[in-house]
Amino acid sequence: MKCLITGGAGFIGSHLAERLIYDGHAVTVLDDLSTGKRSNLDAIASATEFQFIEGSVLDADLVEQLVQRAEVVFHLAAAVGVKLIMEEPSKSLRTNITGTENVLNAALPGKTLTLVASTSEVYGKAAKFPFNEDDDLILGATRNHRWSYACAKMLDEFLALAHARDSSLPVIILRFFNTTGPRQTGRYGMVVPRFVQSALDGEPLTVHGTGEQTRCFGHVFDVVEALVRLMSTPEAHGKVFNIGNDQEISIRALADYIISETQSSSNIQIIPYQDVYPDGFEDMMRRVPDISKLEQTIGFRPRRTLKHIVADLMAEKK
């Protein structure tokens, strides 16, 4: 199958590209390298069925050309990470909304299967746990820039599902929950690689807020497995899926665990949010996915443990 991955030089996209090539598919990656790295694709760079295009999803003509050649599109290109969203809110909004619009418009003529990356952030301030795909979505005030990312991704979902209803475009919405693993950096606030690197360097692990907030961390290999299975599941068309692990841990406990696993002498520093993020930041205490719909649809649920994630990151960073 001919596959196009936007944002394919990024963390998730590069692992997906490798998997698809190894499975015998042809893969084209479109990436502007603003956050992705060409080196992430070194393992498949010489593959005859692989092509890398440096360019932006904001280039509608280029996107149209590439989508026309594809049989399936994984639209992963986006501005991601709380730190980046807070620092560049207007640029992030344009990338996340206009880029998705360009991809979907290009997919319409040929009814090209399009898997659209979304995020657990769309659940916002919801207080019903675990989060189910049909739950109401509750966002904060517009003065809090953090919610601009969630709003943009909600618009992406609405637009994709509208095309599914109006034009029978086959789309699948992917709500990612804290995916982590090899190749992820802490550059834009991703907590697990940041903690692992600090622990290996013997530096303090900085916990933002109280540390009592909880998250669920899924291994990128499990996420890629889910994406590959969804690609081949017609029953998934027109639907939204949570994708992530449902094992919960507090950020303070995560720091303690990583110090233990790395046998580090590092200590933990608690830093208030206002000392880290600009005005307009607001955090949620819990993020827990209901992944029963994913399992029922594709016969798979993410299962790799935090121990596996930390071990893989340690092996990469040593």
Residues carrying an active site annotation: 149
Q: Cα–Cα distance between 266 and 294 in angstroms, integer? A: 38
Structure-block tokens of residue 68: 């026309």
Helix, strand or coil, per DSSP, at residue 43: helix
Cα–Cα distance list, 123 to 22, 87, 189, 277 (Å)? 35, 22, 20, 21
Q: Cα–Cα distance between 273 and 308 in angstroms, integer? A: 29
Q: Residue 267 CB: number of other CB atoms within 10 A? A: 11
Structure-block tokens of residue 262: 């790395």
Alpha helix ranges (H) inside the chain: 11-22, 60-69, 82-87, 89-107, 146-167, 191-201, 220-231, 251-262, 292-298, 306-317
Beta bridge partners of 240: 173
* Helical pair 89-107 and 146-167, crossing angle rounded to 10 deg: 10
Task: Verify cis geometry, omega within 30 degrees of 0, for the bond prior to 130.
Answer: yes
